[in-house]
Amino acid sequence: MRIVILGSGQGSNAEAILKAEREGRLGRGQVVQIFSDRPDAGILNLGPRFEVPATFLDPAPYKTKLDGEGEQHYIASILACQPDLIVLAGFMRVLKRRFLLQFEGRVINLHPSLLPAFPGLDGIGQAFRRGVKVTGCTVHEVTIEVDAGPILDQAAIRIEEGDTLESLAAKVHAAEHALLPAVIARLSVAKR
């Protein structure tokens, strides 16, 4: 299963995927490309470390979504990789209908809450401020409605009495780093 990772930040979730692949825990999955919408994103540094091409793709002209020429550039570049799966690992842009139709059923996202609770930005902070006792992370298929696609799997995290926003974030991120590669491994075995 050929995997393309899209990310905007430091790439800790992408690194978890790449480590799982290196350790033989990604099933039949193989990361073939990393793309980032930010030229200074830490995720791009993972390419040389894991011997995977890592490329900045200009998403112009919008700051929060892929649309117009930027969207078409992404579609063409990803199609050239012949992906079976596209993993959004901290990719901070909304994908539009044309992109999702092109890669229908092949795009998954990791969200830092137990969806459908706390969709959108800052899922960890939303859960912490609301005072819930359990939160976590979700891997789901990406659809036109943000954070509303079919749920593939979830990991729950208990919010303890002494937790701070920072300690909760660390626990959720640790759960993400285990859940996302596990879901990818299952999907790779299911794909024949």
Annotated active-site positions, please?
111
160 three-state secondary structure: coil
Distance CA 162, CA 93 (A): 34
| Residues in CB range of 146: below 8 A, 6 or more apart | 94, 119, 120
3-state secondary structure 103-149: CCCCEEEEECCCCCCCCCCCHHHHHHHHCCCEEEEEEEECCCCCCCC
CA distances from 34 to 9, 80, 102, 190 (A): 12, 13, 18, 23
